[in-house]
Structure 1
Amino acid sequence: MMRTQAWKGAAFTVPFQLGFLFLYVVPIGYAVHQSLFTEHQSGLGLGGDSTTEFSGLDNYTKGFGDSAFTGSIGRVFLFACVQIPVMLVCALVLALLLDALTARLANRFRIALLVPYMIPGVVAAIVWINLYSPDVGPLTPFGHLFGLTWDFFAPSMVWPSIGNLLTWHGIGYNMVIVYAALQGVDRALFDAARVDGASELRIALSIKIPQVRGALVLTGMLSIIGMLQIFNEPMLFRHVTPQTVSDGFTPIMIIFNQAFNANNYHYAAALSVILAAVLGLASFLFYRLTTREAD
């Protein structure tokens, strides 16, 4: 009887298992298979015949030795080390402020803070590019009022410009996750701390933040995964300032160019597998380090 019920319960997971199989496992397997081959063209690529040969791990060896690809990973990683902590700290502060409000006020502000996340990423990038524009944007003349002359598309400013855009777009989503974790904390802990004379700041530092560490780890892992796959924002910035944002600015841009501009699908598949491995390793190390601190 118990075994029958277990099988019936497992049957409800079949749609998910099928979706996971065909949308994740099969594409990943196909990418790995494609990465083991190399296409050779005769006639200097001008209408000659093409042959596909098994090359083993040659594409991976080439990828690890590709300074443009490894450099783009390092560039995005350094950017993530600054942008992700800033975004998570801002999301945590907003969640703590919402938690201090009444339920009615918190719901109103929560919806308002979620509005940027509801905007598609491409639309958000276009909006901010226009805001940054020295020709049509309001930020440049606003800076002139205080004697500031800033160029948001300059080489020294392009990463802060993209970081501001990503923080504005993602802060509401991370705030909601942290705020939901705060709502699950036993309110008796706060009342007991207040009776003992603890201030609201002390309660936040000593009780609330430790209680939502799991939510911060989750948002941190999701941010790392999303950051190393950044594509839309740099690609749109490239259309505005191609002299600053090159076609190899991020790993995904290099993979895109190899697949759709150079028609080197096999090498692009190998780079995709390498990037997936880097993502998995970075997420694993982040999880182990953060959970070890929690222990």
Structure 2
Amino acid sequence: SYSICAGPNDDELRVAIKKVPGGLFSTFANEQLQAGDTLEVMTPMGNFHTQLLPTQAKNYVAFAAGSGITPILSILKAVLETEPQSTFTLFYGNRTVEAVIFKEAIEALKNRFMGRLSVHYLLSREYPGSDLFYGRITAEKCAAFCKILFNCEATDEFFLCGPQEMVEAVQDTLTDLGADPNKIHVELFQAATGKQAAQAQERVEALPDIVSTVRVILDGNNFEFSLPAHGDTILDAAMKAGADLPFSCKGGVCSTCRAKLLEGDVMMEVNYALEADELEQGYILTCQSHPQSERVVVDFDS
């Protein structure tokens, strides 16, 4: 899945696809995709946004690293164009100046919305002339920025996008400094690895030794199969049984596989996509869910 980088008033949809070594689609898109080709895509989804109103006067702060600027750029444009009384502060980390994605577009927005948009670039492999902005975005950097460049408690909305380590460090720091956790919006560009993956596996091994009957509802159709709690996720098991379900990252990041739990109980290995209100409403990520009850019903149509 890829994030939209165009603003709502750009009259077009744009995505940025960075070539990843060994990446199937990113390699295809950068080396073979040509103007005039047609791609079938799903409708945009996810929770990395907030309600914008022309009458609002809010302070927004965003932290992005590398390709994490993609959705942030879209949000930044939307805020500045829709809410003329709001301000936006961006902290953007890259290795070098040459590696900065969308630098010209960001600088153009700074000139267009002078006084309302502040941009601070951090470089990890090139000295930018200040120790404060030299290195990666870390918890320590975030705390320093909050002390010097913005008021954490006076900020209305935060947007964080980048590698998991950076996002979690900034999220924890902002919360510790007084930010409302419900106002911190996060999006990751990679699935859990290392320690997080090991912890997820431990949770799977701790599940009860049962075989569940799982019913999946999609487009009004019902699909039923048996699934051991210690076996595949609901998404993987359903697809092996012949179901054609929506998915993308399979890492608990994008929410493409979101469905509503109508009956039973499940355990999610990780969740980086669903917010608290969605969890309260019963939504799950099927790519991360294992049954914990003898019967489970999930609805992709809800």
Greater fraction of residues in strand: 2
Same fold (TM over 0.5): no
Greater fraction of residues in helix: 1
Taking structure 2 as the reference length, the TM-score comes to: 0.20
Taking structure 1 as the reference length, the TM-score comes to: 0.21
Q: Compare CA radii of gyration and give the structure with the larger one.
A: 1
Higher relative contact order (CA 8 A, sep 6+): 1
